[in-house]
Amino acid sequence: MHPAMHTDTERCVRAVQSKDARFDGWFFTAVLTTGIYCRPSCPAVPPKPENMVFHPSAAACQQAGFRACKRCRPDTSPGSPEWNARADTVARAMRLIQDGVVDREGVPGLATRLGYSTRQIERQLLAEVGAGPLALARAQRAQTARLLIETTALPMAEVAFSAGFSSIRSFNDTVREVFALSPSELRARAVRHGVKAPATPGVLALRLPFRVPLNPDNLFGHLAATAVPGVEEWRDGAYRRTLALPHGHGIVSLAPRPDHIACRLSLTDSRDLTLAISRCRRLLDLDADPVAVDEQLRADPRLAPLVDKAPGRRVPRTVDAAEFAVRAVLGQQVSTAAARTHAARLVTAHGTPVDDPEGGGLTHLFPGPRALAALDPGSLAFPRSRRTSLTTLIGALADGTLSLGVDSDWNEARARLAELPGFGPWTIEVIAMRALGDPDAFLPTDLGIRRAATELGLPSSPAALTARAAAWRPWRAYAVQYLWATGDHPVNRLPIP
């Protein structure tokens, strides 16, 4: 972890002088002599230390009057892993802002979700991130606008409103201020640099950045092996799935590349772009800091060979926490194939049909809690106790007594899940790991984990393994990925093209 790294001037200067990409997104360098701000890995000649000042966010740089560097494009660097590794109010606020809550509900909506006054939220964000919620949302709108300007042929007025701007004037002013170019100049520059809109109309082609290394095997292997027919598929070297979004729906294709994730995104309403990107990044754990994670896990001599063999494992997460919770119950004590079959039946009976614009096999959105509230428990082909677990979960999600959103308090969510019938430690922790995004979730009772522990000479009893795993904190969810990867299961392998 790097608490308030932007305040450690000496460390920041060293990172900039060495062009260390590991710190992209942790802090930003503003250059007093040029008025621009950069990511630490900017390829330009590093400025003199006396001309550098450091900020914790792109929004803070913009608020201080600096514009984005045209070479390193700091506004597109990976997000700070701090917001995914923490569960306090500021981290929850940042996750909500990344999901576009301020644009949809305003600052009062953000504060209500967090249970604080708007003044308290603004004060906490200013103290830690250097910018309030409106400035952070504005910076995100600017980044969304840039994506639409450079990767689509949409008219500028449509770009402005799709990115969340309330007027053409505020759109023009913000783009000029942040990028030192007008929207039309930004588009012309992208064309000169060979950026082209996809051949398929309505499809956006994006590059999702991440910190290296990234091992795609278990990440995409897990998603492909557990894919629910009609909602997810592996096709032509990419994981594809449908997305239920506030203004419509989308279909995304995600394919691993050495230095980015190739993303093809089709939306029925372009206002959902920010949220769709945020969900895809969360699904693939793209804002993780793999060097910090692997460094700590490698300190255990039993884990070190696993880390050295295939560093950079991520935790496969989800685009919809409620969907994952339902699927976790469907997967209790059954094979991966049986879990997919149960989920596919729910999708066919209760999911919303959609068209796949690229001719794939995606046919439905996964049904939400309200749609599933109408299901007949007698139609479920599994034991009565699990039917009760599923219907109780769906009811709690539908009436709001259980919240698993990005604003959730992880410990409170665990306590709520524990109150539901049939929710033992394994189910609760797998939901905490993949739906809530807790990087320290741990599954000591999992059969695959216990088998791996035995093979590696680690304690195999849950209590003893939990005691040993204390040294892996706060990254135990990543240790789970390395331990699972010792098994011969399709979730650990990229599908053969």
Q: Which domain holds residue 95?
A: 83-192
pLDDT, tens digit (0-9, with 9 covering 90-100), for 239-259: 999 999 999 999 999 999 999
pLDDT, tens digit (0-9, with 9 covering 90-100), for 225-243: 999 999 999 999 999 999 9
Are residue 113 and residue 176 in the same domain, yes or no? yes
Token pair recorded at residue 150: 């450079």
Token pair recorded at residue 427: 């189910």
The span from the CA of 175 to the CA of 142, in Å, is 6
Burial of 106 per CB tally in 10 Å (0-12, 13-18, 19+): middle
Are residue 64 and residue 90 in the same domain, yes or no? no
Are residue 92 and residue 184 in the same domain, yes or no? yes
Residue 26 lies in a domain: yes
Are residue 65 and residue 87 in the same domain, yes or no? no
Mean pLDDT, rounded, of the chain: 93
Residue 104 lies in a domain: yes
Confidence band for 495, pLDDT divided at 50, 70 and 90: confident
Residue 9 lies in a domain: yes
Are residue 39 and residue 128 in the same domain, yes or no? no
Are residue 186 and residue 126 in the same domain, yes or no? yes
Are residue 113 and residue 13 in the same domain, yes or no? no
**Predicted pLDDT at 199:** 65
pLDDT, tens digit (0-9, with 9 covering 90-100), for 42-81: 999 999 999 999 999 999 999 999 999 999 999 888 988 8
Q: What is the CATH number of the domain that holds 65?
A: 3.40.10.10
Q: Which of the residues are catalytic?
A: 38, 446
Residue 476 lies in a domain: no
Mean pLDDT of 189-214: 83
- The total of structural domains in the chain comes to 2
Mean pLDDT of 369-380: 89
Beta-carbon neighbour count of residue 363 at 10 Å?
A: 18
**Predicted pLDDT at 391:** 95
Residue 302 lies in a domain: no
Beta-carbon neighbour count of residue 132 at 10 Å?
A: 21
Beta-carbon neighbour count of residue 17 at 10 Å?
A: 13
Q: Which of residues 161, 192, 223 is at a domain's end?
A: 192
Residue 441 lies in a domain: no
Q: Give yes or no for a contact between 273 and 148, defined as CB atoms under 8 angstroms apart.
A: yes
End-to-end CA separation in angstroms for the chain: 38
Mean pLDDT of 406-417: 94
- Top pLDDT among 379 and 393 is at 393
Mean pLDDT of 412-421: 97
Burial of 276 per CB tally in 10 Å (0-12, 13-18, 19+): buried
Are residue 134 and residue 185 in the same domain, yes or no? yes
Are residue 54 and residue 88 in the same domain, yes or no? no
pLDDT, tens digit (0-9, with 9 covering 90-100), for 433-455: 999 999 999 999 999 999 999 99
Mean pLDDT of 363-383: 91
Are residue 115 and residue 62 in the same domain, yes or no? no
pLDDT, tens digit (0-9, with 9 covering 90-100), for 264-289: 999 999 899 999 999 999 999 999 99
**Predicted pLDDT at 1:** 40
Residue 153 lies in a domain: yes
Residue 96 lies in a domain: yes
Give whole-number Cα distances, 409 to 92, 372, 374, 403, 442, in Å: 8, 25, 28, 9, 17
**Could you tell me what percent of the chain has a pLDDT over 90?**
81
Are residue 93 and residue 185 in the same domain, yes or no? yes
pLDDT, tens digit (0-9, with 9 covering 90-100), for 3-56: 577 889 999 999 999 998 889 999 999 999 999 999 999 999 999 999 999 999
Are residue 134 and residue 41 in the same domain, yes or no? no
pLDDT, tens digit (0-9, with 9 covering 90-100), for 283-330: 999 999 999 999 999 999 999 999 999 999 999 999 999 999 999 999
Q: Which of residues 192, 209, 228 is at a domain's end?
A: 192
Q: Which of residues 170, 192, 214 is at a domain's end?
A: 192
**Predicted pLDDT at 2:** 45
